[in-house]
Amino acid sequence: MTSTAPAPAAPEDLLRGAGLRVTAARVATLRAVGERQHATADDVLGSVRAELGTVSVQAVYDVLHALTDAGLLRRIEPAGHPARYERRTGDNHHHVVCRSCGAIGDVDCTVGHAPCLTPSDDNGFVVETAEVTYWGLCPHCR
C-alpha cells in the first residue's frame, strides 16, 4: 500500500538512515524513549525488557550511547540525577529541572532567541555548544 502521508519515520528507517544496524534492542529503545517525556536508562531498561524479555543492562547503555552519538537521541544530565534521554534533537531547546524531585520540562528558548550563546571571553576554548538549565520547583513539589 502506498500512502502519501508523511508518516512519522519508523524506528527501523531512522536507524538505517543514520547508518546503524537494525537490532531489536535499538528499535525497542527508540520506541521506549519516544513514549515517555524524558526517560532514564532504567526506564528504558524496563520498557525494553517488557517488550523483548531478557535484555542486559549493558545492552541498553550501549544502545543509548550509539543512538545519542548518531544524533537520534539527546542526552540530558542534570546535576545530581541520573541521565535522561529524549527524541527532540537538533532544535536548541533547553530544560527546567525540579530541584526537589528531578522532574524535567522542555523549554523553547524563544525569548530574545539566541541567548548569550557566544561567551564574552572564551578563555581560549573552542566553544561548540551552549546549554541552559533552569532550576526550580515543579507544580507537584511546591
Does 17 engage in binding with DNA (CB under 7 A)?
no
Q: Which is nearer to DNA, 34 or 82 (CB)?
A: 82
In the block, cell 538505517 appears at 16
Ligand-binding site membership of 109 (annotated)? no
- Under 8 Å between Cβ of 125 and 110: no
DSSP-derived letter for residue 38 is S
- Under 8 Å between Cβ of 34 and 74: no
Of the residues 11, 62, 102, 138, which one makes contact with DNA according to CB under 7 A? 62
Q: Which is nearer to a second copy, 58 or 129 (CB)?
A: 129
Among residue numbers 79 through 138, which ones bind DNA (CB under 7 A)?
Answer: 82-83
The three cell numbers of residue 4 are: 502519501
Does 139 engage in binding with a second copy (CB under 8 A)?
yes
Please report which helix (H) or strand (E) contains residue 62, including its range: helix 57-69
**Annotated binding-site members for Zn(2+):** 98, 101, 138, 141
